Structures are given as structure tokens and as C-alpha cells.
């Protein structure tokens, strides 16, 4: 695996591959890699001739009170993991390389789909995400870019950006990889102390309870969210940013789950904010 820190070096590496007709797969990450990230890398390696992984803790997607400074960083460990997953190139630029002095061009989506849920609780988050994704797409010019369903709203907005801005990149969404007790893998899980880690399994347990209730005939979104809330609160003190049952294409709230929907939540346990989601399919009558 080759490692790059500058845009020009990465472009020089990729140009002959592109000229030879090789397909390029791209996996953007913020590092502190785990099996969730690696599942995307393996998928890119399987689908494409060249797999590029970026490791960049993107400052513009963090709010002023968020965890940018303490976000876990382990470039050496991450490089080993990328290489073992078969990646051909690792791109880890410094913030100045991506945001040079005077940077002032932003990608924003100004509708309810972008402003709800994470957009409501982290008002500048998606502007940072979409801007860095567009920059990386322009730098790497991938045929396909791989995102996790773990960040459901992010994958949706990035796919919309690619479509609306006529980018030639296919946005592929991959399943959520979970720990044995159901907790969705996340770089932020390492902030959890043992008690908080145990409590954090309540997120996926709550979502699974909603899925089971739906399978048993409960279609009221209010009743399903109440079940999830009860599971979260039973596990210990937490601060719930949102629990929502939404249309999977628009994220508009759903009242009755009579077609596919997605249950999404964001919860703070101690000082750690966690998100998770689960697709819901009502039973056929
Ligand atoms: P991050 O480093 O948190 O920005 O994540 C980089 C990519 O990995 C995003 O597309 C995430 O959705 C994806 N990802 C993170 N955690 C998981 C997981 N548990 N399963 C699948 N994909 C994940």
C-alpha cells in the first residue's frame, strides 16, 4: 500500500491507473479504524481495481463544542489495518492541504432532509461533510465511493449531492457492522467506560424491540418510538437528542409504518454521543 499526504502526489499515483481504465473505489474515513470501516475497504477492494482510503479528521464537520481535539487518532495503526484489508493507497492530508488559507467555498443542502435529525442537532455538520466529500471526490475521482448505513442521513445526503451535482461517482451504502451485543461499531465507542459501554447496547436493543413490535403488528410510529425510549431509559441515565421513524428516502416523519421506514436515534451516554438506525419493513398482510 502506498501512502500519500498531498493532493498532487495522490493524483500522480492515480492518473496512470485511470488512463489504463482501472476502476477506482474510495472510502472516506476519519481514522481510528474498526471493522465497520474495514468492511467498506474490503468492499472497495472486491469491487474495484484500486481502493483508496482517506484518513482525515475533518475539522469543518465538528461544531465549536464538539470533540475535534480529543477525536482518536492513530495513523500508524490505521495504515496497518488499511494495508491488511487490501487497500492500494492511503491518503492522510493535513488540514491545511484540504483547507488552504482563505478557503470559503461550501456545499450546503437547504431542505428538511438535511436540516432534520443530525442537521438539527449539529447545524454546521453536513456542510462540512458534503464539502469535504466533494473535495475528496474531485481529488480521487472515484468510480464508486463507499459509505456506511451507520451514518444513514450522511449517506443519503452524499448520494443526493452526487446526483444533483452530476458527479460521475456511484455512492454505495454498506451495512452496519456491530459488536456482539449489537452496539454499532464507532470510533467514538472508545470514549465509553465499562459502565457506559454496557449501557450503550440499549441503542440497538431498543431498535430491535421496535422491529419485533412491528413484526408483531404494531404500526404506530409513536408506539414504536415509545418502546425505544423506554429501552434507552431503562438502561441508565442518558440524554436523547432524537428518536425518529422516518421515510428512508426523505427522512420525513412517518406516523404509521405501512411501508419501509427507518428508525434513527442519537443519544448521549455520559459524555459520548452515539447514533444508530435500523430499517423497518412492515409484515405483509
Ligand atoms: P467515520 O470515520 O466515522 O467518518 O466513518 C467513515 C465511514 O465508515 C462512514 O461512511 C461511516 O458510515 C462508516 N462506518 C462507521 N461505522 C460503521 C459501522 N459500524 N458499520 C459500517 N460502516 C461504518
Q: Which residues pair with 244 in a beta bridge?
A: 264
> What is the atom index within ligand 1 of the atom nearest the CA of 147?
10
Residues 148 and 207 in one domain: no
- Domain CATH code at residue 263: 3.30.1300.10
| Residue 283, in any domain of the structure | no
Q: What is the CA radius of gyration of the chain?
A: 19
CA distance 129 to 212: 33
The full length of the chain comes to 285
The protein residue with its alpha carbon nearest to ligand 1, atom 12, reads: 148
pLDDT along the chain (285 residues), means of 10: 98 98 98 98 98 98 96 97 98 98 98 98 98 98 98 98 98 98 98 98 98 98 98 98 98 98 98 98 87
Using alpha carbons, select from 236, 263, 259 the residue that is nearest to residue 251: 263
| Residue 33, in any domain of the structure | yes
> What is the atom index within ligand 1 of the atom nearest the CA of 150?
12
End position of a domain, from candidates 174, 206, 233: 174
Q: How many angstroms does the Cα of residue 58 sit away from the middle of ligand 1? A: 14
Q: What is the pLDDT of residue 284?
A: 83
Predicted TM-score of the model (pTM) = 0.98
End position of a domain, from candidates 122, 147, 174: 174
Contact indicator for 53, 27 with CB cutoff of 8 Å: yes
CA distance 26 to 137: 8
Protein residues with CB under 6 Å of any ligand 1 atom: 29-30, 36-37, 39-40, 147-148, 150-151, 174, 176-177, 184-187
Residues 35 and 110 in one domain: yes
Contact indicator for 129, 160 with CB cutoff of 8 Å: no
Sort strands 24-29 and 50-55 into parallel, antiparallel or unpaired: parallel
End position of a domain, from candidates 122, 144, 174: 174
Q: Which of 60, 142, 146, 148 to mutate to test the pocket of ligand 1 (most atoms within 8 A of CB)?
A: 148
The protein residue with its alpha carbon nearest to ligand 1, atom 11, reads: 148
Residues known to be catalytic: 37
Domain count, the chain: 2
How far, in Å, are 60, 75, 124, 190, 209 from residue 127 at the CA level? 8, 25, 5, 26, 33
C-alpha cell at 126: 453536513
Q: Which of 36, 54, 161, 175 to mutate to test the pocket of ligand 1 (most atoms within 8 A of CB)?
A: 36
Q: Which helix (H) or strand (E) covers residue 7, if one does?
A: helix 7-19
Contact indicator for 49, 17 with CB cutoff of 8 Å: yes
Residue 110: domain span: 2-174
Q: What is the pLDDT of residue 196?
A: 98
Residues 43 and 102 in one domain: yes
- Unique residue bearing C-alpha cell 412517518: 254
> What is the atom index within ligand 1 of the atom nearest the CA of 176?
20
List of residues 6+ apart from 215 with CB closer than 8 A: 283
| Residue 285, in any domain of the structure | no
| Residue 180, in any domain of the structure | no
Q: What is the pLDDT of residue 285?
A: 73
Amino acid at each position: 500500500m502506498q501512502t500519500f499526504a498531498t493532493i498532487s502526489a495522490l493524483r500522480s499515483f492515480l492518473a496512470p491507473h485511470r488512463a489504463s481504465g482501472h476502476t477506482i473505489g474510495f472510502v472516506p474515513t476519519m481514522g481510528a479504524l474498526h471493522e465497520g470501516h474495514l468492511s467498506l475497504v474490503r468492499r472497495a477492494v472486491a469491487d474495484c481495481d484500486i481502493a483508496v482510503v482517506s484518513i482525515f479528521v475533518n475539522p469543518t464537520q465538528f461544531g465549536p463544542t464538539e470533540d475535534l481535539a480529543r477525536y482518536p487518532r492513530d495513523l500508524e495503526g490505521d495504515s496497518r489495518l488499511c494495508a491488511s484489508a487490501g487497500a492500494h493507497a492511503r491518503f492522510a492530508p493535513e488540514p491545511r492541504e484540504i483547507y488552504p488559507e482563505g478557503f470559503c467555498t461550501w456545499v450546503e443542502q437547504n431542505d428538511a432532509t438535511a436540516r432534520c435529525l443530525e442537521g438539527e442537532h449539529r447545524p454546521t455538520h453536513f456542510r462540512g461533510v458534503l464539502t469535504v466529500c466533494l473535495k475528496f471526490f474531485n481529488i480521487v475521482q472515484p468510480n464508486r465511493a463507499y459509505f456506511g448505513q451507520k451514518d444513514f442521513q450522511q449517506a443519503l445526503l452524499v448520494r443526493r449531492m452526487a446526483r444533483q451535482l452530476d458527479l460521475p461517482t456511484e455512492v454505495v451504502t454498506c451495512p452496519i457492522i456491530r459488536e456482539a451485543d449489537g452496539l454499532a461499531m464507532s470510533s467514538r465507542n472508545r470514549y465509553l467506560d465499562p459502565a457506559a459501554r454496557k449501557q450503550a447496547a440499549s441503542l440497538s436493543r431498543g431498535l430491535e424491540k421496535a422491529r419485533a413490535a412491528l413484526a408483531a403488528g404494531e404500526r404506530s410510529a409513536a408506539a414504536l418510538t415509545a418502546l425505544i425510549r423506554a429501552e434507552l431509559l431503562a438502561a441508565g441515565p442518558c440524554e436523547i437528542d432524537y428518536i425518529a421513524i422516518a421515510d428512508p428516502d426523505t427522512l420525513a416523519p412517518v406516523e404509521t409504518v405501512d411501508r419501509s421506514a427507518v428508525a434513527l436515534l442519537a443519544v448521549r451516554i455520559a459524555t459520548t454521543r452515539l447514533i444508530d438506525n435500523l430499517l423497518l419493513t412492515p409484515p405483509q398482510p
